[in-house]
Chains A and B, each alone.
Chain A
Amino acid sequence: QLQLQESGPGLVKPSETLSLTCSVSAGSISSNNLYWAWIRQPPGKALEWIGSIFFSGNTYYNPSLKSRLTISVDTSKNHFSLNLTSVTAADTAVYFCARVRGSIPVTPNWFDTWGQGTLVTVSS
């Protein structure tokens, strides 16, 4: 069964870069009709879609984060990554990675498998 696992520092200083990786196991990241996504949830707040990536490298970003965000994929390592620059306390959140699926031939449109999430705190 497909599993996703987030990894990265749990504490990042303000103005620095938040970097996370999502490792995919028991399944290939290079499958057609799948996207891979990052979602976050600040403490006490709602889920927020951060961005998505196709295995070819095509990316789609939340407009509110686009200027600070890079999502990349490494098919040889079967993982994808998130880099968020110039972080502030507002970026403190639990970050989830997820697989995006769709009913073939419909475009991927739902998140069916999630990582357990990782808390990233922005603080000096």
Chain B
Amino acid sequence: QSALTQPASVSGSPGQSITISCTGTSSDVGKYNFVSWYQKFPGKAPKLIIYEDIKRPSGVSDRFIGSKSGHTASLTIFGLQAEDETDYYCCSFAGIGTFVFGTGTKVTVL
């Protein structure tokens, strides 16, 4: 069970769009439509922003869009804002009760 692969860092200017990739295998990302994404600020608990590949919980900004193709899931942040600067993690279901997280991506707003 290896961690999902994310870019270490992604950056963009305010108002731009950025995309974070999350690459897994045929045993996790490629097998189930169960990728979730979490926003993580230092010293805080992770916050769910996308679940089941593309769904967004109520209260989460519609600037966050999830997608997936094959073994790679993606999180796109449209209209980047200073408040979006933090760490993001993907997570895939890998069988009943089991999960694997991504390596994490630091988003910087230039």
On A, residues with C-beta under 8 Å from B are: 35, 37, 39, 46-49, 52-54, 58-60, 62-64, 96, 100, 103, 106-112, 114-117
**Apart from A46-B102, A116-B44, A117-B45, what 6 extra A-B contacts exist at CB < 8 Å?**
A37-B99, A48-B3, A107-B93, A109-B36, A110-B34, A110-B48
Residue picked from B44, B98, B99, most chain A C-beta under 10 Å = B99
Task: Please list 28 pairs of residues, one from A and one from B, whose beta carbons are closer than 8 Å in the complex, sorted by A's number.
Answer: A39-B46, A46-B101, A46-B103, A46-B104, A47-B38, A47-B40, A47-B89, A47-B104, A49-B101, A52-B97, A59-B97, A60-B95, A60-B96, A62-B1, A62-B98, A103-B52, A107-B93, A107-B96, A109-B32, A109-B36, A109-B93, A110-B36, A110-B91, A111-B38, A114-B45, A114-B47, A115-B45, A116-B45
Question: With A46-B89, A103-B52 as given contacts, are A64 and B1 in contact (CB-CB < 8 Å)?
Answer: yes
Residue on B nearest A48 in the bound complex, by CB: B101
